[in-house]
Amino acid sequence: MRNSLLWCAWYILIPAAAPLAFLVHATPARAQAVGFEFNDSHFHLTNNVQEGPDIRDFLKMMDGHAGRVAIFGVPLQQQWLSRVDGDRAPKYYLHSDAPLYYYSFTDARIAMAYRSLSKAEQARFDPMITGFNPTDMYAADHVRRVLETFPGVFSGIGEFTVHKEVVSAKIPGEVASLRNPALDRILDFAAEAGLVAIVHNDIDIPLAGSVSGQSEPAYLEDLEALFKRHPNAMIIWAHMGLGRLVAPPPRFFDKIETMMRDPALRHVCLDISWDEAAKYLVASPESVQATAALLQRYPDRFLFGTDGAAPRDQAKYLKVFHQYEPLWKSLDPETSRKVRLTNYDRIFDEARRRVRTWEKAHVPAN
């Protein structure tokens, strides 16, 4: 009951003209996961060259551990240029100096993989739309077209990237920006359709500690401004803004807590996915304690995700979950369950309901 009331409170943000049904926590569209260790809010079925396990093989990796998974491809394809790499085919964006490009077909592949499953198997997945360029004013139209082409499939958009170490510099053309009106169009449509939005944006520039004179994280102010412009969108900020070369800036936990306390940001949740984020958050007993204390003060605002990408086997898939073992042991049982399981259920159940409602109103019946 407490979770339902919290979710309803969030929807007070929706304008008064919104249908009354949006102000009520509806019965979940599909059964909740029971008896699993976690739900995964952040998972890539494919890698940077669109390779990955068959979705049924991935289901076997989930067995006994993951109940539900927000599943998506990788929107950025690593180009294989013979003049750069010869016969050495790169598989990852760090394996080549060749550029990346947006690969929109990833959404169709995810949709078709999902549709190949039984209804019971589909109930364990929340597919996400990610094959769009966030600098393109037409990107929101891509998202709409995907919903129209594959009704009944998708629950959200993302993970999509704005500022990301190494990656941003490898994409030709205009650099994605938190100030770009194309991004506003994307989040406006996400709010309209009820899509969860998983956004990757580093909190700071890489190796910021080595830059003299810098006092505040480079991107945090613009990121908060973006989030505040879209109070009706359900947003998940990926990795708490951390990355391979983006360490927690000074007073990191204080800055995150300030966000959590801001009523204008109550529609924003954070995930703790990715081993590159975990390496900071559970680096020492002190960091574990600080992370646990933050999550226990705001237990409804954090989700666990693996950020797995085309894992070869179950051990690879479970790596990040086990990496967080010190954190799981430090949390009280209620907070641990919310972060691992029930926050996912609450957010994605509501997204499923709202997106299906939008589709009924806007997608012609076959």
Q: Is 30 inside a domain boundary? A: no
| Confidence at residue 21, expressed as pLDDT on a 0 to 100 scale | 33
Beta strands in the chain (DSSP E): 38-44, 66-72, 76-78, 100-102, 125-129, 156-161, 196-200, 235-237, 268-271, 302-303, 308-309
Domain of 266 in residue numbering reads as 2-7+36-206+215-362
Q: Kindly list the averaged pLDDT for each block of 10 residues, start to end, along the chain of length 366.
A: 39 34 36 79 97 98 98 97 96 94 98 98 98 98 98 98 96 96 98 98 89 79 98 98 96 98 98 98 98 98 98 98 98 98 98 98 89
The 10 Å Cβ neighbour count of residue 90 is: 18
Q: Is 172 inside a domain boundary? A: yes
Peptide bond before 159: cis, by omega within 30 degrees of 0? yes
Query: For the chain, what is the radius of gyration of the CA atoms?
Result: 19
- Tokens at residue 294, please? 């933050």
CA 16 – CA 10 distance, rounded (Å): 13
Q: Is 159 left (phi over 0), alpha (psi -120 to 50) or beta?
A: beta
CA 272 – CA 275 distance, rounded (Å): 9
Count of structural domains, the chain: 1
CA 47 – CA 74 distance, rounded (Å): 6
Owner of token pair 């406006």: 188
Q: Is 22 inside a domain boundary? A: no
List Cβ neighbours of 18 (8 Å cut-off, separation of 6 or more): none
CA 91 – CA 85 distance, rounded (Å): 11
Q: Is 31 inside a domain boundary? A: no
pTM, 2 dp:
0.90
CA 96 – CA 356 distance, rounded (Å): 41
CA dihedral 281, 285, 288, 289 (to 10 degrees): -140
For residue 186, what are the CA distances in angstroms to 42, 92, 196, 282?
Answer: 19, 27, 11, 34
Q: Is 276 inside a domain boundary? A: yes
The 10 Å Cβ neighbour count of residue 328 is: 17
Q: Is 14 inside a domain boundary? A: no
Q: Are 23 and 7 in contact (CB under 8 A)?
A: no
CA 203 – CA 166 distance, rounded (Å): 14
DSSP codes joined into one string, 233-248? S-EEEGGGG--SS-PP
| Confidence at residue 365, expressed as pLDDT on a 0 to 100 scale | 83
Q: Which CATH number do you get for residue 128? A: 3.20.20.140
The 10 Å Cβ neighbour count of residue 4 is: 12
| Confidence at residue 211, expressed as pLDDT on a 0 to 100 scale | 58
Owner of token pair 């009354």: 20
For residue 261, what are the CA distances in angstroms to 15, 171, 236, 254, 299?
Answer: 22, 35, 16, 10, 13
Q: Is 23 inside a domain boundary? A: no
| Confidence at residue 317, expressed as pLDDT on a 0 to 100 scale | 98
Per DSSP, the three-state class of 325 is helix
Q: Is 15 inside a domain boundary? A: no
Give Cα 262 distance to the centre of its chain.
Answer: 21
